[in-house]
Amino acid sequence: MTDGRELLWDGCLNVRDLGGLGQIRPGALVRMEAPTRLSEAGWAAAWAYGVRAVVDLRNAEECEPDWVGRPVGMTVVRAPLDPVGSPFYEHWTKLDGLSSPLHYPALLAEHPELVIAAVRAVARAEPGCVVFHCAGGKDRTGLLALVLLALAGAEADEIVADYLLTYERMKPRYVEMGARDQLTAVRELVAGHGTTVEASLTATIGSLAMPSFLLGNGLSEADLTALQARFT
């Protein structure tokens, strides 16, 4: 259930407020797929909702031009979460295509600096609502959401349910691309490794000691305070 968290921004399918999960207030953080297709009305709705900063988790080569211009005054910060060219990237691209939660523990352990950079971007964003996204709003966006929600004290089942919502919301886009049902595909993939999507996510959440993970990997106390203030 989204409990009214879903947002209707014309041109995108997978937009929702994280408010109401843990200690996060409505209007603080929004997750979505790449906003490339937002119409003028879609961008106007985002601006009216209070969005003043966008954190883009994609690598530069993935970025495509927006269909229409973004509102003047809305800042964009890039914080790529895929360590392209690293042994991690080569290994997990072959193993799960970076399209399942299986790789989350390895990324958190081997490249925490990327996660910290993304969290720092949220903490230091302009006053107002912050949107963060990758391409489909599922895996990289899902990992950052998991980290932020864990810090905010959300229950594991809430975090898992929020992650799973993207598969349903993005179904029309998968059909458009001619792709098979992605939830079925990912469930089969993780089952081949002896687990489930839910169990994999729950294990990752349980392994994160907050805020120790963030502070121990380079987030400053000032940024942590700013982040918690943004939540509440």
**Number of folded domains in the chain?**
1
Q: Whole-model pTM? A: 0.96
| Helix or strand holding residue 95 (H, E) | helix 87-95
Would 141 be classed as within a structural domain? yes
- For residue 6, tell me if it sits in a domain: no
Q: Is residue 159 part of a domain?
A: yes
Q: For residue 232, is it within any domain?
A: no
Is residue 51, in this structure, part of any structural domain at all?
Answer: yes
pLDDT number for residue 177: 86
Q: Does 20 score more than 60 pLDDT?
A: yes
C-alpha closest to that of 49 among 15, 79, 81, 84: 15
Residues comprising the chain, all counted:
232
Decide: 43 and 68 in contact? Cβ < 8 Å: yes
pLDDT (0 to 100) of residue 163: 97
| Residue 51 domain boundaries | 16-225
Whether the per-residue pLDDT at 3 is higher than 80: the answer is no
In a domain? residue 149: yes
**Pair of tokens at residue 22:** 């843990």
% of the chain at pLDDT higher than 90 = 92
* Residue 194 clears pLDDT 70, i.e. is over it: yes
For the cut 60, the answer to whether the pLDDT of residue 2 exceeds it is no
d(CA 121, CA 218): 13
Which tens digit of pLDDT belongs to each residue from 122-152? 999 999 999 999 999 999 999 999 999 999 9
Q: Is residue 209 part of a domain?
A: yes
Residue 203 belongs to domain with CATH number? 3.90.190.10
In a domain, residue 183? The reply is yes
**Residue 1 confidence (pLDDT) above 60:** no
* pLDDT tens sequence across 69-102: 999 999 999 999 999 999 999 999 999 999 999 9
